[in-house]
Amino acid sequence: MFNIASSNRLEHTEAIVGGAHFGMHVSKAVLRLFTFLLFSLLGVAQAGAEAGHLQDRLTPQVMAAVWPGAERLGPEEGAPPAIAVYRGGKLAGYVFSTLDIVHAPGFSGIPFDVIAGVDLTGKISGAKVIFHREPHVFEEPSRQVQLHTYLARMSGLAAEGKNPGALHPDYVDGATVSALYMRDAIFDSAQRVLISRGWMAEKQTAPIVDMDGFKQMSWDELLSKGSITHKVITGKDVTAALAKANAAGGKLDVPPSGPNDTYVDIYTGLATPAGIAKNVLGRDYTAYFGPRARRGAFTNWKIFVASKGPYDFVDETGANRFGRLRVVQGNAAYQFTVNRYQGIATNGREGIRALDHAAIFALPPGNKFDPLKPWRLELLVSGRTAAGAPMSLAFPVDYQLPGAHILQPPPPRAPLWIQAWSDSRVNVAIMAALLTLLTLILAFQTRLVQLGRPYRIIRNAFLLFVLIWGGWIAGAQLSILNVVNYMEAPFHHYGWGSYLAEPLMVMIVIYTVFSLLILGRGVFCGWLCPFGALQELLAQFARAIGLPQWNPPERVQKYLWLGKYVSAALILGLAAFSIDAWSRAAEIEPFNTAITSHFTRAWPYVIYACALLMIGLFTERAYCRFLCPLGGVLALAGRLHLVDLLKRRPQCGSPCHLCENSCPVKAISVTGKINMTECFQCLDCQVEYYDDQRCPPLAAIRKRAVVT
């Protein structure tokens, strides 16, 4: 029977369907525009500052900040380019631009231009940024002041780093990464300028012998640590060597006295390092090695040789050569000459002077001897075989310079993103725990929602923590700015390190990407967005005090939903063509004002953010639903989600409308279907779904069970 009620319902349904078809056409048009602007964003390079002509950028105000007291400037010259600064008639330092030297990109991906100065001792004289497009700083007066103050306080810092007491980059509130990039660009540029002009030693890149390091050590300590090594050769050893050489009947120039008697106790070691030679020679060290300046360019390595016993290694065989010693390294053998010999007085009481023979030998110039590699001293014992043929026995003494006398190159400076993760390890641990907890909530949502009120307490506590710690304390507010930066990353040559330098943001982005693919946009928007949490908590407060609630009719709401796609397309389009216009358009997001800046910005921004929150008191999450550009991007990507965990029954939508009416954001249509691109995963509908006191199908089952 066709009655008036059913006729009205049919007309209502037809209107909805017609509106839906029209809305679908509009939606497709918006999405096509969105996609076009997205590809425009990825394909168009952003404009930035132009490098070169530093002299033209050195206004009196800039010079007053970077080199106060400068009297005269030289020409712009050299590689890397810099301008000499003179004071008192003498060269005092240099002025340079980070844009000209390292061309470092900021967090925005656009290289900034910081002009700075460095004196001849490697101290920064001052720094001033004259161009940047850093989000949260650009056109933000309070943070601009913080950034200028942070750079000004770099005056007096060492360009090589390790400046205890220096301002930490988080001094620039909400722009730590930008400050970090600028600081390191200044340090790197200053070092390159000084190294290229000979005022700073080039960084050591390989292990080298520690020529000047010194630590007091006794003779026995030198032996125990391997700085000097020795070998005892007995008469038995000599006899065995003769037998091995098939010269058992031979006659040596210095025959052994007995099988167990010491033939020679020989000592050797690299003499060039001061840590060895100073301890061996004591106050006579300078007499053998000269002043430090003369040893600075020393390339002819010296070796100690000392012995005790009847065999004297010092025996001039002719042609000014010593025939009883040689140094062997690999395939190269080196013999010593008289003009490279320095005897050491013995007959003392301790150390090398308590031995019978001691000397220092220098290797010949132009040799390929590597003191860092193992080598051996060979003691040569000469004689004749039984047949009268000359022979020579070699007794090796192996040596390897200990690590205590080797300077290792400094470890490479950790990339900025690793430093950022290290500095944020506490916050990283908290965020990891928070994301783990959220995963557990979503995984066990079926059990949790059946708790009813306790679940709502859990959710509100989670949102409160996300707002206070995640937003106002840690500053982990994902923004459309982050989306643009990540989208541009593959098309720039700055490396992913620039995008990994915000640990909490990276964690949220990765979690959001995976949750988008699995469950849709609601995981981030409904659980992890600090501004969304603020809106929802305020909406609950509004309902608690009885403020009236209004939601647009479903037909109207379909058009209002398009607002977030339009705002996202607008911002992405402007980002492709104008960084200045993009930065201004991004202010459609109130996140910077309400979360990052804690409502401390200029009054128009504060009024705008407060107006959105006021609207949210009467229409829950109105901004998230109808205007948020980040929500538009996530909603579009969320259409690809794989799993729907929210449960429905055949009765949902016909005849039951309980969940539809209780959904605070009206993401459930009159048909009972949940629109996952608009759902915030608050799980209110699932609380109703399992409530046998309110859900009509469950209530009917419960009543039948009571009757039976």
Tens-place pLDDT, residues 183-204? 999 999 999 999 999 898 888 7
% of the chain with per-residue pLDDT over 70: 88
pLDDT confidence bin for 125, thresholds 50/70/90 = very high
Q: What are the pLDDT digits (tens) for 519-573? A: 999 999 999 999 999 999 999 999 999 999 999 998 999 999 999 999 999 988 8
pLDDT at 558: 92
Using the 8-state DSSP alphabet, how is residue 89 labeled? Answer: T
SS3 label, residue 116? strand
* Contact by Cβ (8 Å): 159, 192: no
Say which residue, 423 or 463, is predicted with more confidence.
Answer: 463
pLDDT at 39: 45
Which residues are CB-contacts of 134 (< 8 A; sequence separation ≥ 6)? 106, 107, 108, 112, 175, 178
* Contact by Cβ (8 Å): 191, 159: yes
Considering the chain, what is the average pLDDT of its residues? 85
Rounded CA separation 489/108 (Å): 10
**Domain ranges (residues) in the chain:** 54-196, 208-406, 422-547+564-647
Rounded CA separation 124/118 (Å): 4
Mean pLDDT on 611-628:
96
% of the chain with per-residue pLDDT over 90: 53
Q: What are the pLDDT digits (tens) for 243-255? A: 888 888 788 888 9
Mean pLDDT on 573-598:
83
pLDDT at 492: 58
pLDDT at 495: 61
pLDDT at 389: 86
pLDDT at 660: 87
Which residues are CB-contacts of 486 (< 8 A; sequence separation ≥ 6)? 499, 509
pLDDT at 26: 43
For the purposes of burial, counting CB atoms within 10 Å of the CB of 704, is it exposed (0-12), middle (13-18) or buried (19 or more)?
exposed
Its pTM surpasses 0.85:
no
Using the 8-state DSSP alphabet, how is residue 158 labeled? Answer: B
Mean pLDDT on 683-702:
87
Say which residue, 299 or 546, is predicted with more confidence.
Answer: 546
Tell me the two tokens of residue 420.
């950022």
pLDDT confidence bin for 280, thresholds 50/70/90 = very high
Tell which residue, 499, 495, 519, has the closest CA to residue 507: 499
Q: Which secondary structure element, helix H or strand E, spans residue 435, and what is its range?
A: helix 425-443
Rounded CA separation 222/226 (Å): 6
Most confident of 136-140, 169-173, 266-270, 661-665: 266-270
Q: How many CB atoms lie within 10 A of CB 4?
A: 7
pLDDT at 477: 92
Q: Which long-range contacts (CB under 8 A, 24 or more apart) does 326-331 make?
A: 326/377, 326/378, 326/380, 327/303, 327/363, 327/369, 327/375, 327/376, 327/377, 327/378, 328/375, 328/376, 328/378, 328/396, 329/369, 329/370, 329/373, 329/374, 329/375, 329/376, 330/373
pLDDT at 4: 32
**Which three-class secondary structure string do you get for 259-319?**
CCCEEEEEEEEECCCHHHHHHHHHHHHHHHHCCHHHHCCCCCCEEEEEEECCCCCCCEEEC
Tell which residue, 50, 51, 103, 53, has the closest CA to residue 83: 53
pLDDT at 561: 95
